[in-house]
Amino acid sequence: MTTSAPATTPDAAPRAAHFGLAVLALAMGGFAIGTTEFVTMGLLPQIADGVSVSIPTSGHVISAYAVGVVVGAPVLAFLGARLPRRGLLVALMVAFALGNALTALAPGYGVLVLARFLSGLPHGAYFGVASLVAAQMAAPGRKGRAVALVMLGLSVANVIGVPAATWLGQHLGWRSAYVAVAALGLLTVALVLTHVPRFEADAGATGRRELSAFARPQVWLTLLAGAVGFGGMFAVYSYIAPTLTDVGGLREAAIPFFLLAFGLGMTFGTWLAGELADWSVFGSLFGSALGMGLVLGLFAFVVPHGWWAIPVVFAISTLGSVLVVNLQLRLMEVAGDAQTLGAAMNHASLNAANALGAWLGGLVIAAGWGYRAPAVVGVGLSTAGLAVLLVSFWLHLRVREGEVQRQSR
């Protein structure tokens, strides 16, 4: 089963003077978002010390950002449905920069949690609108590639942005990482204003039309598969820094290398996902969910051996990216006309997974079961996500069978 690129408005869209620079501007926003989302995992011990809380408690900072994404995606898609898209992108990035600046200035744990929640609000809506803008600017037959280039900013963030920001936070204090992210947000604003053309608002778009996606059972099943199944990866990745130092016996200086391996796996997985989607979206989802459970279980056995865990971390992020991209394709397909909400809600679902995984991982650590216990939690979450995908596939077959029967009458 193949999936086409997301639909766009039928009206003729303006062409960017330099298409590559316009897509780069949009991808820079993805780079900034990816950096702030994942750098917290690498700096969790420093953040815990900085605001005087335990590491499991500081894991709630990760969950706060994720909850912000979950809340912001539908709310901002609803409120911004009829706004000009370039202006909406600029407003979202300004809000993002302010949220990260507040993170850097937070005087204590309570303000820090609030700042991470506010930083997460623009996340899903930005990716949704940026993907639609990229598709509108692209030449016929190249819309899917344009959307993939925007999403690549998130993957490259894990290759360059997250390791660099982690190093910066370790040497200049954890707050410096979020100052750098705020600067990236403002750079994105400048690039979007300079290189992305103006778009007229979609006159047919309404908040009610966007919300119609929630009336579709397959939308809910796809969101649930992401929220539960992808949570397994975050149960492990949220506590990767203390796991590597306490269980793997490695020094803090080794952590950026594991974050780099994670980012390289994401980049490779994003490319691989596109290839696999041409074969079968459902097949790719099943394979990546099953593989995720297996490699998370393997991580629990390998991490005491230190550096030997690097290829496992690479495999975890590769399979995670295959899952993410194919969930995005599936969600855009089943969302119908609610394109903005469909594009945004995939990131809400994945950040619900972020919140769930970080929370459950913190629970088992706080219960005294050790830093390998989150990997066992991850296996359970991946298995549950696979079960949801099987229900979705069964319902898909039932609907298709009904359509065939009606056509044969």
Residue 9 within a domain:
no
Closest C-alpha to 37, from 105, 94, 132, 122: 122
Residue 14 within a domain:
no
Distance of CA 204 to the CA centre of its chain: 28
Amino acid letter at 255? I
Residue 246 within a domain:
yes
Confidence of residue 17 (pLDDT cuts 50, 70, 90): low
The count of domains in the chain is 1
Q: Tell me, what's the pLDDT at 3?
A: 41
Residue 152 within a domain:
yes
Closest C-alpha to 135, from 85, 60, 68: 85
Percent of the chain predicted with pLDDT > 70: 86
Mean pLDDT for all residues in the chain: 83
What integer is the mean pLDDT of 128-144?
74
Rounded to two decimals, the pTM is 0.73
Residue 8 within a domain:
no
Contact 210, 338 (CB under 8 A): yes
Residue 153 within a domain:
yes
Residue 77 within a domain:
yes
Confidence of residue 125 (pLDDT cuts 50, 70, 90): confident
Q: Given a cut of 70, is residue 9 above it in pLDDT? A: no
Q: Given a cut of 70, is residue 4 above it in pLDDT? A: no
Higher pLDDT, 383 or 7: 383
Residue 332 within a domain:
yes
Q: Tell me, what's the pLDDT at 6?
A: 43
Q: Tell me, what's the pLDDT at 96?
A: 96
Rounded Cα distance, 213 and 217, in Å: 9
The residue range of the domain holding 339 is 19-408
Give pLDDT tens digits for 353-379.
877 888 898 889 988 888 888 999 999
Q: How many CB atoms lie within 10 A of CB 272?
A: 18
Q: Given a cut of 60, is residue 7 above it in pLDDT? A: no
The CATH number that applies at residue 384 is 1.20.1250.20
Confidence of residue 399 (pLDDT cuts 50, 70, 90): confident
Give pLDDT tens digits for 224-243.
999 898 888 888 888 888 88
Which of 51-60, 207-216, 284-293, 377-386 comes out lowest in average pLDDT?
A: 207-216
What integer is the mean pLDDT of 11-28?
74
